[in-house]
Amino acid sequence: MFWFSCKPKLKYDKLSSGDINPKNFVAIGGSGIGGYADGALHVDAQKNSVAKLLSQQLELIDANELIQPLVPPQFNGFGLSSINATLVTANSFLGNKTDCKGVVSLSPIKPTSNCTFNDLRASTSTNFYNDYTIPYVKSYQFLQAGLGNLGNAYYNPFFERIAKNKTTSSIISDVETLNPTFFVLQPALHDVLQYALNGAASDSITSEARFNLAIDNIINKLTINGAKGVVLNVPDVTTFPYFNTIPYNGLTLDDQKAKDLNLVYNVISNGAISFSVGSNAFVVSDPTAPIGARQLKAGELVLLSAPLDSVKCNYLGSLNPFENRMTLTLNEIATIKTAITVFNNKLKSVCQLKNLAYVDAYAFYNSIFTGIVYNGVTVNAQFVKGGAFSLDGTNLNPLGNALLTNECIKAINTQYKSKIPQLNANLYRGVVFP
Amino acid sequence: MKIKYYLFGLIFLSVNLLLSQGFQVNLQGQKQQGMASSGSAFVQDESLLFYNPGSAAFVKKTGINLGVTPTIPNTVYLDSTSQTISRTESPVSTPFAAYALYSIKDSSKIKMGLAVYTPFGSTVQWPSEWIGRFAITKLQLQTIFFQPTVSYQITNKIGIGAGFVLATGNVNLKKDIPLINSSRNYGTAELNGKASGYGFNIGLYTKASNKLAFAISYRSQINMKVKDGNAVFVVPEGVAVNFPNGKFTSSLPLPQVVTLGTHYKLNEKIDLVADVNYVGWKAYDTLAFDYENNTASLLDTKSPRLYKNTFAFRTGCQYLLNEKTQLRGGIAYGITPVQQGYVTPETPDANRWIFTTGASYFVTTHLQIDASLYFTEFKRAAVNYETNLKGTFKTAVVAPGLSIRYQF
């Protein structure tokens, strides 16, 4: 009888590319924006990477599609624990794991890889790609000729997959052949992240001089023909769940265990190391301490690489001190933070000088660390629960990538007076639960 | 994805707000609806049991009145950052009103009445993958109010009336939980519960002259309480232990309303009416859910609503076309009780203009048919402080109504 209705209408904002020509879009960066997540480069992460998500929004203003060197479907992920590793692992998933005490709980599980290092190296071609996000790359390595050559000092098998010429190509020289008109660049995550992931026990932070030189060169080469772009600065990596999941005082003891440990340590440490019922600071090796070990201080960080089974069943972190590589001390944290500030100052000034959009990823990751609410969803940096980070505790998952992509879009819109819509980040998943 | 803060920082109350700010829906009588729901001082038919039981004392004869007003709400939401448009898929709701007024003789000073009506009763359904899915996907609210009433003519110029209101209803609301399983399905939460409450309704009517009448009426606040609600969670198996199904309690205040009305008979053919409603929405300060089984992921919630008291201004006229036919028109302006920062997808409320029209036809001297048509459209750009939903809501409501009235 009355089945007519009245549909209210709202108008979209008009799209606009503003001052940019996004046609030849190229993504350049390290693992942070390129689809390395859950401990491996894998297809789901690649398709939901910042590079890909940003390109999809840029396609709305007529950018070309981002062609990615996807992990071939027959392989379950290309994970390398470091750039020098040759053992390939698959991406982790969340499942039930039984610990040394027989307690079952949800934990990341790394399935056996079905491919070898040579599979990884040979897994692609010299086809056209405009996705040059190469895991583990540091600033100065973007310019390294022969980066994809096995003999090179900084050899990177992920670049070998797509290098136009293994022996002569650098990432930037290959990018130059594409005549980019617009780029996203994440130039410097691994300049400090790798050092932090190693517990400051190996690898090193790129020196300021080397960093500045590399950045100037990269930016000059990318912008020489008038290309515009968006550059991400370096997040405070110590906010990542990898460093914040195991508390410094996560050693929980009952009365008997505290007494037993005190019995040992009272003698050898002369009371410097002591325990009580409840939470206790872990013990870590420290050559500068009188007995070569000490308890962690508030603010020091235990890495996710610390083997928890050994903590629970083999007195790791108590009778057996943590190795230095499993922790970041206050001094090491300060060193990392200082370097990040230096890098970001440089990146910001270069962006200003070259009129590039500057994404304050540092502020973004800090906001995730504190926790944000996005359209009804609380997102924070808690491991697994927080929703933003993947199961490796350092790289974002699709939801986190979508939120970071939105920061890129905001920066582009502000810098270039464009009107590119942000993503509906709620279409992108957080951690997958069994 | 801490679910705890906002999991049920919800909702519950909706449809009424789509229709008009606050409880003053007043889709309760076709004659009044035709005049923008004013006419509490205009003695015409049995629906005065709702609008002003004092005025009802002057309705002549015993009569019954049955009406229904299919309500077609449509809300569109434009998310301002992603430029995503979402449109509600709400079904048509059918609020009804039934009134029976009994007087022993036509000249009796005392009248007894029963009103049964549905001041709430509709569904807000957002599309399944809309951007606010973790705030709300569906809210269904059904209520029936029973109001036995006595009206009395103190003099031939003054009438009073009072009714007791028993309110019953149920609420069903759904939202998605941002936990995804390996089949890429998100969790869902569904709250289902019966609610009840009671209150009263009183009114005073006075004829100042043969042409002019005034009315004042008061509807008390009704606290609708959900005591034994069922909370059902579907989440990935691995985290199911954190979301135990169980009971919950909650409550929702339906605000008190003061209405001042006037009726002026301009001439034999034209009647003018005007009403002002003052609605005590301030009572809706917080929406709380108390779960029987709390876990670290499922804590009790308290969501600020911070509604404010508000007014609605209504006016209309009735024109006697011929002996059998009346025509009506009305216009109203309503002020929203929802403050900036607290607009939610289930109550995308805004200040609004309301336009109505209507007609009545006497089929016989006993049988009358009334019809009305209600239209409003309103828009609000808003950010919600709790969910950070930021965008523009625009709602249009069309409500054609029909009633049949028989006087003995």
Please answer whether residues B262 and B271 qualify as being in contact, where contact means their C-beta atoms are separated by less than 8 angstroms: no
pLDDT recorded at residue B6: 35
pLDDT in tens, B93-104: 888 899 999 988
Both tokens assigned to A349: 């000034």
Radius of gyration of chain B (CA): 22
Nearest residue, CB atoms, B132 vs list A106, A376, A382: A376
**How far apart (Å, rounded) are the C-alpha atoms in residues B311 and A417?**
43
**Beta-carbon separation of B72 and A430 below 8 A:** no
Helical axes A50-59 vs A398-416, angle rounded to 10°: 50
A144 pLDDT more than 60: yes
Which residues of B, range 355-384, sit inside 8 Å of A by Cβ?
Answer: 375, 377, 379
Percentage above 70 pLDDT, chain A: 99
Fold classification of A25-240+330-426 is Rossmann fold (3.40.50)
Instruction: Say if residue A150 is exposed, middle or buried (CB neighbours under 10 Å; 0-12, 13-18, 19+).
Output: exposed
pLDDT recorded at residue B10: 30
CB-CB neighbours of B375 under 10 Å: 15
**How far apart (Å, rounded) are the C-alpha atoms in residues B9 and B259?**
32
Mean pLDDT of B336-342: 92
Both tokens assigned to A14: 């008009």
CB-CB neighbours of B401 under 10 Å: 27
Both tokens assigned to B390: 């930021």
pLDDT in tens, A357-415: 999 999 999 999 999 999 999 999 999 989 999 999 999 999 999 999 999 999 999 99
A324 pLDDT more than 90: yes
User: Which amino acid belongs to residue A199?
Assistant: G
B15 pLDDT more than 80: no
pLDDT class for B123, splitting at 50, 70, 90? confident
Give B6's contacts in chain A (Cβ within 8 Å).
Answer: 373, 376, 378
**Beta-carbon separation of B129 and A434 below 8 A:** no
Helical axes A330-354 vs A190-197, angle rounded to 10°: 170
Q: Where exactly are the structural domains of chain B?
A: 15-407
pLDDT class for B166, splitting at 50, 70, 90? very high
* Whether B180 contacts chain A with CB within 8 A: yes
Mean pLDDT of B74-82: 94
**Beta-carbon separation of A422 and B82 below 8 A:** yes
Intervals of CATH 3.40.50.1110 along chain A: 25-240+330-426
Mean pLDDT of A240-265: 94
Instruction: Say if residue B143 is exposed, middle or buried (CB neighbours under 10 Å; 0-12, 13-18, 19+).
Output: buried
Sign of the dihedral defined by the CA atoms of residues A205, A207, A208, A214, in that order: negative
Share the mean pLDDT of chain A.
Answer: 94
pLDDT recorded at residue A164: 93
Task: Report CA A60 to chain centroid distance, whole Å.
Answer: 27
Nearest residue, CB atoms, A434 vs list B175, B238, B388: B238
How do strand B310-322 and strand B367-383 relate by DSSP bridges? Answer: unpaired
Question: For the domain B15-407, what is the CATH code?
Answer: 2.40.160.60
Distance from CA of B196 to the nearest CA of A (A): 29
**Beta-carbon separation of B400 and A2 below 8 A:** yes
- Integer CA distances (angstroms), B83 to A260, B134, B136, B390, in order: 63, 18, 19, 11
Mean pLDDT of B158-182: 93
Which residues of A, range 274-333, sit inside 8 Å of B by Cβ?
Answer: none
Exposure string for A347-358, b = 16+ CB within 10 A, e = fewer:
beebbeebebbb
State the best of A7, A375, A414, A432 to mutate against chain B, taking most chain B CBs within 10 Å. Answer: A375
**Beta-carbon separation of A371 and B2 below 8 A:** yes
B25 pLDDT more than 70: no
pLDDT recorded at residue A225: 93
**How far apart (Å, rounded) are the C-alpha atoms in residues B342 and B348?**
9
Distance from CA of A180 to the nearest CA of B (A): 26
Report helix, strand or coil for B190. Answer: strand
Nearest residue, CB atoms, B396 vs list A6, A372, A382: A6
pLDDT class for A176, splitting at 50, 70, 90? very high
* Whether B76 contacts chain A with CB within 8 A: yes
* Whether B92 contacts chain A with CB within 8 A: yes
Distance from CA of B117 to the nearest CA of A (A): 21
Percentage above 70 pLDDT, chain B: 93
* Whether B83 contacts chain A with CB within 8 A: yes
pLDDT recorded at residue B121: 63
pLDDT in tens, B130-154: 999 999 999 888 888 999 999 999 9
pLDDT recorded at residue B26: 65
Nearest residue, CB atoms, A433 vs list B180, B377, B396: B180
pLDDT recorded at residue B23: 36
Print the SS3 string covering B132-159.
CCCCCCEEEEEEEEEEEEEEEECCCCEE
Q: Where are the beta strands (DSSP E) in B118-245?
A: 121-125, 138-153, 158-181, 186-207, 212-219, 222-234
Which residues of A, range 401-420, sit inside 8 Å of B by Cβ?
Answer: 406
Which residues of B, range 158-177, sit inside 8 Å of A by Cβ?
Answer: 175
**How far apart (Å, rounded) are the C-alpha atoms in residues A122 and A124?**
6
pLDDT recorded at residue B266: 97
B71 pLDDT more than 90: no
Please answer whether residues B146 and B116 qualify as being in contact, where contact means their C-beta atoms are separated by less than 8 angstroms: yes
A290 pLDDT more than 50: yes
pLDDT class for B4, splitting at 50, 70, 90? very low
pLDDT class for A268, splitting at 50, 70, 90? confident
pLDDT class for A152, splitting at 50, 70, 90? very high
**Dihedral (C-alpha) A305, A306, A310, A314: value to the nearest 10 degrees?**
150
Region of A405 (left: φ > 0; alpha: ψ -120 to 50; beta: rest) is alpha
Mean pLDDT of B319-335: 96
**Beta-carbon separation of A375 and B386 below 8 A:** no
State the best of B8, B180, B184 to mutate against chain A, taking most chain A CBs within 10 Å. Answer: B180
A173 pLDDT more than 60: yes
Mean pLDDT of A274-298: 94
Nearest residue, CB atoms, B6 vs list A6, A376, A385: A376
Nearest residue, CB atoms, B398 vs list A5, A406, A422: A5
Q: Is the overall model pTM greater than 0.90, yes or no?
A: yes
pLDDT class for A30, splitting at 50, 70, 90? confident
Helical axes A330-354 vs A208-223, angle rounded to 10°: 30
pLDDT in tens, A204-220: 999 999 999 999 999 99
* DSSP assignment of A402-419: HHHHHHHHHHHHHHH--B
pLDDT recorded at residue A279: 96
Give A385's contacts in chain B (Cβ within 8 Å).
Answer: 1-2
Mean pLDDT of B277-281: 92
Please answer whether residues A174 and A145 qualify as being in contact, where contact means their C-beta atoms are separated by less than 8 angstroms: no
CB-CB neighbours of B34 under 10 Å: 29
User: Which amino acid belongs to residue B193?
Assistant: G
**Beta-carbon separation of A433 and B239 below 8 A:** yes
**How far apart (Å, rounded) are the C-alpha atoms in residues B32 and B101?**
17
Please answer whether residues B276 and B314 qualify as being in contact, where contact means their C-beta atoms are separated by less than 8 angstroms: yes
Distance from CA of A369 to the nearest CA of B (A): 12
Both tokens assigned to A228: 């515009």
**How far apart (Å, rounded) are the C-alpha atoms in residues A388 and A381?**
6
B12 pLDDT more than 80: no
Q: A12-16, A345-349, A376-380, B299-303 — which is least confidently predicted?
A: B299-303
Mean pLDDT of B226-254: 92
For residues B229 and A127, the model is more confident at B229
**Beta-carbon separation of A432 and B78 below 8 A:** no
User: Which amino acid belongs to residue A377?
Assistant: V
- Integer CA distances (angstroms), B217 to A333, A425, B16, B55, B213, in order: 70, 50, 20, 9, 13
For residues A232 and B285, the model is more confident at A232
* Whether A385 contacts chain B with CB within 8 A: yes
H/E stretch holding B278 reads: strand B270-279
CB-CB neighbours of B114 under 10 Å: 17
Nearest residue, CB atoms, B81 vs list A2, A371, A406: A406
- Integer CA distances (angstroms), A152 to A31, A89, B183, in order: 20, 23, 43
Residue in chain B nearest A107 by alpha carbon? B238
Percentage above 90 pLDDT, chain B: 73
